[in-house]
Amino acid sequence: MNALFAVILLAIIVVTFGALLLVVSGMLGPKRQPSPVKDMPYESGLPGQETKDTKVSVKFYLTAILFIIFDIEIVFMYPWAVTYLDSVKAGTGGYLLGAMGIFIALFVIGLIWEIKSKALEWD
């Protein structure tokens, strides 16, 4: 019960401190007068162009999502690799090796699917 109280107290302190920072910065910060010129994005010295329908290729999003997925795979593999030797000594190495084998197999199947569906091609 003591540990739970400490976590709740810390959460209350963090939320209070964050709210206090927002209030103080709002009171002490500069007051900005809205103007159409200041609200336009800076385009390297060129006049801003108002376009409501920005066309961004879906391939950029797909590449970013694929990067995140495979990056997360490495994030899960690193702690496994660090603790694997200890699990072998404890007698659970075979189980962990099988679990990681299934995990890697799923990602290899995903990579094969990406290559076959031409998700990484830019043509």
Mind listing the pLDDT tens digit for each residue in 50-86?
666 667 777 788 888 888 888 888 888 888 888 888 8
**The token pair that represents 102 in the structure block:** 């299934």
The answer to whether 93 and 84 are in contact (CB under 8 A) is: yes
pLDDT of residue 20: 96
Confidence at residue 73, expressed as pLDDT on a 0 to 100 scale: 83
Between 44 and 29, the higher pLDDT residue: 29
For the cut 90, the answer to whether the pLDDT of residue 7 exceeds it is yes
Q: Which residue has the tokens 């809205």?
A: 34
Q: List C-alpha distances in Å: 15 to 10, 29, 48.
A: 9, 21, 39
Whether residue 45 is predicted with pLDDT greater than 70 in this model: the reply is: no
